[in-house]
């Protein structure tokens, strides 16, 4: 496997190079494409990920062909530079067919996800006039009807300063702490984050950031440190009332890259929370507002399909079609007057399974 560039070089690439789609010219502000949600779906160059992208295109993204959704959601699959010429050629062919890949000039690796997101933020503010930037994984199913319903709901208004998703904020059992075992996927080295807790952050499986916050993050990006791996979600958010006491001493300390042997698997969502917390603590963001979305599911429930689910994580490609068929039916029934996200009741067997599962969740034996 080809060795990654130095952390400094990776962030330099994220901050100074232009994604392939925008390589000809950066549009003027007046020419930016307008949409309610700009959805970036994290993916990768390896062959198995093409199967995931195909499943997404054939299911929930088909809704974008409907006239009532046109212009409301724009999307791209976010990828880095592939490690081999063969993978690069395959991506070129895929882009020629679908035109929906955003390839940023950052080496493709699990450990460079945060740098890829920084590059995607820069591209987003340069090319689109959006209300919300959204990140989702390519193994997440996103119900676009419920997404747009949320965007237009009182929970999302006013839009300025909103950071929303499944919040790890300490409420209702939603707690997480830095994992110190290097063998764990979400390993966080003490050198990079020495504290026993994170600022509140939204799960990376599906979260939204208001346009004004993305602009602030882009302004802050030249001072951002390299974090390895998929922890970009943490860096985004702490409550504006809390940083002065609880987090101010943490946020003004410089982030230090881990020692070479421990540079790995940094949790991108957590990094986003950290940087939004820094913005709030410094006064650069006066109205940061964290919103928990109950319909975002970072875990697999029983049964898997729930009518109120806005984002379902950990989906296998072969599961997308059946889940999509049920989501379409639920949306059609809701349009017929059955209520938001509703429709006819689930089969009795599923209702019994759901009732038992929900009891375990309420008892804190399982996470929702």
Q: Using only C-alpha atoms, what is the Rg of the chain?
A: 20
- pLDDT per residue as tens digits for the range 105-136: 999 988 888 899 999 999 999 999 999 999 99
CATH number at 245 reads 3.90.550.50
Q: Is residue 117 part of a domain?
A: yes
pTM, two decimal places: 0.86
Strand runs labelled E in 82-180: 101-107, 128-137, 141-142, 162-165, 167-168
| Number of separate domains in the chain | 1
Q: Is residue 47 part of a domain?
A: yes
Q: Is residue 2 part of a domain?
A: no
Q: Is residue 68 part of a domain?
A: yes
Q: Is residue 1 part of a domain?
A: no
Q: Is residue 367 part of a domain?
A: no
What distance in Å separates the CA atoms of residue 57 and residue 60, rounded to the nearest whole number? Answer: 7
Angle at 207 between CA 203 and CA 208, to 5 degrees: 150
SS3 state of residue 201: strand
Q: For the chain, give the number of residues.
A: 368
The predicted model gives 307-324 an average pLDDT of 98
Strand runs labelled E in the chain: 33-42, 73-81, 101-107, 128-137, 141-142, 162-165, 167-168, 201-202, 206-210, 289-292, 296-297, 311-312
How does the average pLDDT of the chain come out, rounded? 84
Domain that holds residue 297: 7-362
pLDDT of residue 28: 64
Written as six digits, the tokens of 66 are 């409907």
pLDDT of residue 129: 97
- Provide the edge-to-edge strand list for the sheet that holds 296-297: 141-142, 311-312, 296-297
- pLDDT per residue as tens digits for the range 22-62: 443 455 667 899 999 999 999 998 878 999 999 999 999 99
Task: Please choose, from the candidates 61, 225, 30, the residue with its C-alpha nearest in 3D space to the C-alpha of residue 140.
Answer: 61
Q: Is residue 188 part of a domain?
A: yes
What distance in Å separates the CA atoms of residue 90 and residue 112, rounded to the nearest whole number? Answer: 21
- pLDDT per residue as tens digits for the range 84-94: 999 999 999 99
Q: Is residue 219 part of a domain?
A: yes
Does residue 236 register a pLDDT over 60? no
């Amino acid at each position: 496997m080809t060795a990654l560039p130095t952390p400094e070089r990776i962030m330099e690439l994220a901050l100074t190079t232009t994604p392939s789609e925008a390589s000809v010219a950066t549009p003027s502000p007046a020419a930016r494409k307008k949409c309610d949600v700009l959805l970036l779906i994290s993916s990768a160059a390896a062959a198995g990920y093409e199967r995931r992208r195909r499943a997404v295109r054939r299911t929930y993204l088909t809704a974008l062909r409907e006239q009532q959704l046109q212009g409301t959601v724009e999307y791209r699959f976010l990828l880095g530079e592939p490690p081999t010429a063969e993978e690069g050629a395959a991506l070129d062919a895929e882009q020629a067919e679908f035109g929906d890949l955003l390839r940023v000039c950052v080496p493709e690796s699990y450990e460079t996800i945060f740098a890829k997101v920084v590059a995607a933020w820069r591209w987003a503010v340069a090319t689109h006039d959006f209300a919300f930037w959204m990140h989702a994984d390519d193994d997440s199913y996103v119900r676009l009807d419920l997404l747009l319903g949320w965007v237009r709901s009182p929970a999302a208004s006013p839009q300025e300063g909103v950071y929303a998703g499944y919040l790890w904020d300490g409420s209702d059992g939603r707690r997480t702490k830095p994992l110190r075992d290097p063998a764990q996927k979400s390993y966080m080295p003490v050198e990079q984050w020495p504290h026993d807790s994170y600022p509140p952050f939204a799960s990376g499986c599906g979260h939204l950031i208001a346009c004004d916050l993305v602009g602030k993050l882009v302004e802050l990006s030249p001072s951002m440190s390299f974090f390895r791996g998929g922890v970009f979600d943490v860096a985004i958010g702490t409550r504006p009332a809390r940083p002065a006491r609880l987090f101010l001493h943490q946020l003004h300390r410089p982030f230090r890259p881990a020692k070479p042997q421990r540079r790995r698997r940094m949790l991108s969502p957590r990094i986003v929370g950290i940087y939004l917390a820094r913005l709030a603590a410094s006064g650069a963001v006066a109205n940061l507002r964290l919103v928990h979305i109950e319909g975002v599911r970072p875990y697999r429930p029983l049964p898997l399909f729930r009518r109120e689910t806005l984002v379902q994580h950990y989906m296998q490609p072969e599961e997308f079609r059946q889940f999509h068929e049920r989501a379409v039916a639920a949306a059609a029934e809701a349009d017929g007057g059955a209520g938001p996200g509703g429709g006819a009741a689930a089969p009795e067997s599923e209702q019994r399974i759901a009732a038992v599962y929900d009891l375990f969740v309420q008892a804190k034996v399982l996470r929702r």
